[in-house]
Structure 1
Amino acid sequence: MNYNDNIIKEIAELIDCGHICFLHTQQALVEYYPIDIDLFYGKSNPWQDIIDKVAGDQEHYIHIEQMSSFQSFKAMEDFVANKVDSLNFRSSLEETLRRPGPFRHFKHQVEQSAYRESWFDFKSQCNIDWVKLQLDDHKI
Structure 2
Amino acid sequence: MWNALLYHKPTGVIESHPDPEDPFFEEEEWEELIEKIESDEHNYIPFEKMDSGESFQLMEDFTNSLTDTHFKDKLLHQLSNRKPFQNFMHTVDESEYRQDWFDLVNVLTTHDHTLKWINNK
TM-score by length of 2: 0.69
Cα drift, residue 61 of structure 1: 3.9
Stretch moving more, 23-32 or 122-131: 23-32
Matches within 5 A, 1:1-140: 16-18=1-3, 20-28=4-12, 37=21, 54=41, 57=42, 60-82=43-65, 84-139=66-121
Matched residue, 1:9: none
Q: State the aligned residue count.
A: 113
Q: 1:96 to 1:52 in 2, by over 3 A?
A: same
Structure 1 stretches of at least 4 aligned residues deviating more than 2 Å after TM superposition: 20-24, 26-37, 50-54, 60-63
Aligned-pair RMSD on alpha carbons?
A: 3.1
Determine which structure has greater relative contact order: mean sequence separation of CA pairs < 8 Å that are 6+ residues apart, divided by chain length. Answer: 1
3-state DSSP of counterpart to 2:100: helix
Q: 1:29 to 1:86 in 2, by over 3 A?
A: closer
Task: Deviation per CA, 1:44-103: give whole Å up to 9, x if none.
Answer: xx98xx67964xx4xx54221111111111000001111x11222111100100111111
Identity %: 28
Structure 1: gaps spanning 5 or more residues: 1-15, 40-45
Structure 2: gaps spanning 5 or more residues: 24-30
